[in-house]
Amino acid sequence: MSTKYSELFKIFLSKYKPVELIEIRDMLKLGIPRTTLYRMLNKKIELKEMDKAYPGLYYKTKFFWGKKNMSIPPSLESLLEKLFNINGEKPKAYLTGYMIYNGFGLTPQVPAITEFAAEKIVNNNYLKNMRVEFRKSKAPITKQNVKLLQRLDCIEKYTGIMGFDSKVDLLNLKLSKLLEILSVEEKKYIVELSKYYKVETQIRLKKLLNYDSNVKGKL
């Protein structure tokens, strides 16, 4: 293996902190032949100095805390921000499923799977024992509509979130509160977005927007 390439790769890696995600496309810009680059990467992984977070994304694993050698994977948030530009103007995916139901306080169930809705289907994967699954989003995703799509997903999965008829009134109340805090414009927008969903979801949304907590029963 060329000493020149090894030194070039070493200098490149020195710019990154442990657990910071490194894209393969940035490594390829170094001008190192692809086969040589992958050989060096595989060697780093074999020595447990680097690991793969996702196809095309790597991170440094070795650093020292006192005299102890430590290895910490990147956070799920940093990985998905890199993959889907979550904080950008045009995110490609958003968090959904039980991670959101739990976050909204609709269920105490802690998810074993992290689920994302994506405009393009991505292969399911495992990130350090956490299964990450992707499904096709119902509507085009923008920075402005993610929180509205998350609410629509909750309304769509209405019958499966709690699973107990005795908790229907509580679910109605919590969902209506999630809609209540939206601005007038957001409420108009979420009604428009609901047209990408099933008719049942559209009807339930309109009822929840006008929900009266004194009226009991399933919507």
Q: How far apart are CA 19 and CA 38, in angstroms?
A: 19
- Whether domain 3-70 has CATH 1.10.3470: the reply is no
This model's pTM is above 0.75: no
60 close to 19: Cβ distance less than 8 angstroms: yes
pLDDT for the residue 165: 46
Q: How far apart are CA 183 and CA 188, in angstroms?
A: 9
- Encoding tokens for residue 207? 């009822």
Give, for 3, the enclosing helix (H) or strand (E): helix 3-14
Give me the DSSP letters along 69-107: EE--PPPHHHHHHHHH-TTSSS-SEEEETHHHHHHTTS-
Strand ranges of the sheet holding 130-136, from the earlier edge strand across to the other edge = 93-96, 113-118, 130-136, 125-127
Backbone angles phi, psi at 165, to 5 degrees: -60, -30
Residue closest to 38 by CA, chosen among 55, 14, 21: 55
In the chain, domain spans:
3-70, 76-209
Q: What is the pLDDT along the chain (219 residues), one digit of tens a residue?
A: 568 899 999 999 999 988 788 999 899 999 999 999 999 999 999 988 898 887 788 988 876 555 566 667 777 777 777 777 766 777 888 889 988 998 898 888 878 888 889 888 777 766 656 778 889 999 999 988 999 999 999 999 987 776 544 477 888 889 999 999 999 999 999 999 999 999 999 999 999 998 765 655 656
